[in-house]
Structure formats: structure tokens, C-alpha cells
Amino acid sequence: MTKLWGGRFQKSAEQWVDEFGASISFDQKLVLEDLEGSTAHVKMLSACGILSEEDAALILSGLQTLKGKAAAGDLEFSVANEDIHLNFGKIPDR
């Protein structure tokens, strides 16, 4: 997998480096709180006019879906995805 921050490196990091730098083991314990914070942030960005109402509604819908999956224990977490946000997966195109 290509890392978001890995543009300057010519080779992949060794597995132990990825495991050492990954925060997912801690992040997953706070998944619902992280989603609540993201929800508040989206609402603020919309209220300030930074996000359109349409975009905010789309993002909030996705966050609500993730909250439901997290509450049901249906989210899978992987060290390969490094942190909570990368573990949420690819955002589908509209």
C-alpha cells in the first residue's frame, strides 16, 4: 500500500516500522468519540460556509453509517492502514 506521507521514499518501510508508527491499536478504542468529533467539525464547517449544505449532508450521512457499524462491532481495523481515518476505507465517488 502507498502511504500518504511516503512520497519521498523509494522503498517501503519494513513491517516493524509500520507497526511501531501505527496508532490504530489506540484509535480503535476511541472510534465513537472520533466520529462524534468529526461530526461536530463538519457541522461547524457547514455553519461557517466552508462546506456546502449538500457536501455536509453527504459527509454526515457517511459518518452516521460509520457510527452504526462501529456500535455494532462491524468495523475491521488493520495496522496496515495506520490510523483510524485510513481504516474507515475509501470514500465512494458521488
Residue 94 — very low, low, confident or very high, per pLDDT cuts 50/70/90? very low
Share of the chain above pLDDT 90, in %: 34
Residue 10 — very low, low, confident or very high, per pLDDT cuts 50/70/90? low
CA 71 vs CA 34, 47, 57, 68, 81: distances in Å: 13, 27, 21, 5, 20
Task: Read off the amino acid at residue 63.
Answer: L
Supply the pTM of this predicted model. 0.66
To which residue does cell 483510524 refer?
A: 84
- In three-state secondary structure terms, 12 is coil
Map 15-72 to HEC letters.
HHHHHHHCCHHHHHHHHHHHHHHHHHHHHHHHHCCCCCHHHHHHHHHHHHHHHHHHHC
pLDDT, tens only, 60-93: 999 999 899 888 988 777 666 666 666 566 555 4
